[in-house]
Structure formats: structure tokens, C-alpha cells
Amino acid sequence: MHNASSPRAPGSVTLVDHPLVQHKLSLMRAADTSTSKFRRLMREVSLLLGYEATRDLALEMTEIVTPLEPARVPVLAGKKLCLVSILRAGNGILDGMLDLVPSARVGHIGIYREPRTLGAVEYYLKLPEDLAERDVILVDPMLATGNSAVAAISRLVELRARSIKFVCLVAAPEGIEQLHRVFPEVAIVTACVDRCLNEHGYILPGLGDAGDRLFGTK
């Protein structure tokens, strides 16, 4: 594991240890943080995680004219990035990332956890058609068992996404291990690696059910 300024190897975990990210995440963890505050914090943290996740996007040089003279300047190369949200909690991260890269394309993968087996069940899929020409950032706030992430990545691999990164707020060691066992080439960007999962597949200490806290459904 390395911090955000180290180079990324395949199968890496980048820990975004920026003080603002850590502070905001701590506020999100507190059980008495309101839904509206949780949602705002998720958006803010996601923008900062997105900043790190997009650090190695390719640039190309282009000619422009400044008010003073012509200049060669760097701009993002190739087709627009594709952000893919694992529904429904992934949408909380999506909002912050879109603040950062408003022209990104967006896909959604609906996956729920079968409560008894914790297995991943896909119920919805809508992605841009030309994934083979796009870098994908897959987002879900909690990397718990890793089953949903692996199911979503399998879809993206099947559709030949050019590259895939996974961004979450909190990761469990079990989830990191599972994701990298199946897809070592997928880099993980996270704000924190927590202690472990409980018997229901929730991350400890974690922040509870990210979807419920984001949408106020409990």
C-alpha cells in the first residue's frame, strides 16, 4: 500500500491520506451526522478521491492562442473518461466526481447483496457503447466482501473497457484481497482501509449502510 504521491503498480491500493479527506471521512462515520451533511461530505470527499484517481490520465499537446501569443498547451487526450456507479450508494460518489470531470460519460450497474449468501446479484445495466475506447472509474463507497466490485468489474472486462480503476471511501482488507485475487490489474483508490467485516458483511468500524445514510432510508 502507498500514499497518493507514490507511483502506481498494477494491483495497487492508493490510500488518500490528505488531511481534508481524513477529517471529512471521520465526520461521515459519526452515527449522529445528518443525512444532508453526510451527502454533502460524500460529495466533497469524492471530488478529492477523484483528483487522485485521475492523476495519471493521458495528456496531449494542442495549439491555442492566449490573449498575448500562440502557445502549445496540454489537454486531456482521447475519449472522455467513463464513470460507472454501482447502484445505489455509488451515486453519492458520482456527484463529487462529476463536479471534477463534468464531461465524463456515466454508466450504472445495479447490484444488490443477497442477504443470506452476501453474493452479488445484478439487476440493472446501462453503459456507454464504446467502453473499449474509454478509461473507466468504477465507484462504490464501501469495498466490503468485494463481491459487488468483482461482479461489476467482470461486466466491464466483458465489454472490454480500456482500463478500470476502483474508487471507494472505505475498504475492508477482505474486499481488497478478493478484488485483487480476481483482478490484480485493477488499481484501488480509497480514503481508508478499516479493520474487518462483521458477520453481516458490514465494515468495522465503517460508517454503516452507505446507501441508507446517503438517502435517509433508515
Q: Is 203 in the site for ligand URA (CB under 6 A)?
A: yes
Q: How far is the CB of 77 from ligand URA (least distance, A)?
A: 35
Contacts of 22-29 spanning 24+ positions with Cβ under 8 A: 22/191, 22/192, 24/48, 25/169, 25/170, 25/191, 25/192, 25/207, 28/169, 28/207, 28/213, 29/205, 29/206, 29/207
Site string for ligand URA, 69-108 (x = CB under 6 A): --------------------x-------------------
Q: Of 194, 203, 137, give the one whose Cα is nearest residue 15.
A: 194
Contacts with ligand URA by CB under 6 A: the residue count is 10
35 is catalytic: no
Query: Treating both helix axes as pointing N-terminal to C-terminal, what angle do 173-182 and 147-158 enclose, rounded to 10 degrees?
Result: 20
Q: Is 210 in the site for ligand URA (CB under 6 A)?
A: yes
Q: Are 149 and 155 in contact (CB under 8 A)?
A: no
Site string for ligand URA, 3-32 (x = CB under 6 A): ------------------------------
Which member of 100, 162, 209, 215 binds ligand URA (CB under 6 A)?
A: 209
Q: Of 188, 79, 78, give the one whose Cα is nearest residue 137.
A: 188
Which member of 45, 48, 127, 144 binds ligand URA (CB under 6 A)?
A: 144
Report how far residue 165's alpha carbon sits from residue 136's, in angstroms, rounded to the nearest whole number.
6
Q: What is the helix (H) or strand (E) element at residue 62, kind and residue range?
A: strand 59-65
Q: Is 142 in the site for ligand URA (CB under 6 A)?
A: yes
116 is catalytic: no
DSSP state of 80: P
Q: How far is the CB of 172 from ligand URA (least distance, A)?
A: 8
Please report, as ranges, the residues that interact with ligand URA according to CB under 6 A: 89, 142, 144, 201-203, 206, 209-211
Active-site amino acid positions: 113, 117, 209, 212
